[in-house]
Structure 1
């Protein structure tokens, strides 16, 4: 159920990239259904990263799924994808239709409260399709999401509502950073699914 007319979906970035906010593409019932299913059935694990030679384990939990059990390098750690579940395939189909793109993998993030977030970064790993679409689907708590231009430092903020889709593409990752800022005001979990194309 797209609450926005496709023809009126605009680029939220003023320049140097394309990011389209589609608003809610799932009904409240669909959002609640998939949120509960993914919360209990996904193989969640605390995320790990190696930064300046030091292994960091986050409170935030993650899971990687794909069309095959490919290996990939993420935050200087090599991991193996799990095969898409039926629920993830159903969501992938919905997202692909809405974004007019195809994806072969999905990184899921579980933020238990608003105090868990993500620092400024861009998704520029070599394993990703260059300038390809990254489609971000939000379930659970609504959260603020921010962009910052790498040169001008201009910032763009928006609130990602429950069941909404944000699609980053073109040169967005080259020219912009993004983050999920922490907040003490949110006490409930958010699940974020980022569908993307991995070069296998």
Structure 2
């Protein structure tokens, strides 16, 4: 059954790219259920990545789901996908109806507390193509999401990604912008973020 909860749409005021934010994409009741299922059903891993030639443990837990034969690589790490499960497929189907995309892969991230983070980056890996569309849905603790223009440091924006929200990063978003989830200064409970993308 598709989610019929009213979907408020906010266009972020940023040049050269399209960012659409749906703060209530999932109702609180459904988001609560999905958060619990994702927490318990996902085979979370604590993997190493390579930053500036040095191997470090990622400051979060991750898991890749996707079509068979579609691995995903970033920062010296190549992840092999787990098969889709019913919870992930339900979320995927609702997002695809909204944005008319067919995503092949989702990277799940578990931010355990305020110390977990994701540094400045663009989702511009070669296998995603030149101008990918990324759908990012959040469950659990609200965390700050920061955007900055790659060539104009006066263009930046901070957005709180709340429980049940969806951010669509569309045309130009991975060409002209970087984004991050910084560490928080106040205690935070766990947050799960799913970033759907299409591997070519």
Secondary structure at the aligned position of 2:127 is classed as: coil
Partner of 1:118: 118
Mapped contact 2:43–2:63 kept (Cα < 8 A): yes
Aligned counterpart, 1:189: 190
Deviations 1:93-123 (A, max 9, x none): 0111122222010000000012211111111
2:124–2:132 Cα contact (<8 Å) kept: no
Q: Secondary structure at the match of 2:163?
A: coil
Q: Deviations over 1:13-37 (max 9, x none)?
A: 4211111102211111111111111
Structure 2: how far apart are the matches of 1:37 and 1:69?
Answer: 25
Does the 8 Å CA contact 2:70/2:199 hold for their aligned counterparts?
A: no
What secondary structure, in the 3-state scheme, does the structure 2 residue paired with 1:82 have? coil
Comparing 28-37 with 49-58, greater Cα deviation is found at 49-58
What pairs up with 1:1-200 in 2 under 5 angstroms?
1-5=4-8, 9-153=9-153, 154-199=155-200
Higher strand fraction: Structure 1 or Structure 2?
A: 1
Q: List structure 1 runs of 4+ shifted beyond 4 angstroms.
A: none
**TM-score of the pair, normalised by structure 1:** 0.92
Give, in whole Å, the separation in 2 of the partners of 1:136 and 1:185.
23
Shift in CA distance, 187/10, structure 1 to aligned 2, threshold 3 Å? closer
Do 2:59 and 2:115's aligned partners in 1 also have CA atoms closer than 8 Å? no
SS in 2 for 1:33: helix
In structure 2, distance between residues paired with 1:87 and 1:11: 28
8 Å Cα contact 1:18/1:171 also seen in 2? yes
Q: Distance in 1 between matches of 2:163 and 2:187?
A: 13
| 1:2 CA displacement | 4.2
- What's the CA shift for 1:173? 0.8
Asked whether the equivalents of residues 3 and 23 of structure 1 are also in contact (C-alpha less than 8 Å), the reply is no
Unpaired runs of 5+ residues, structure 2, are none
TM-score by length of structure 2 reads: 0.92
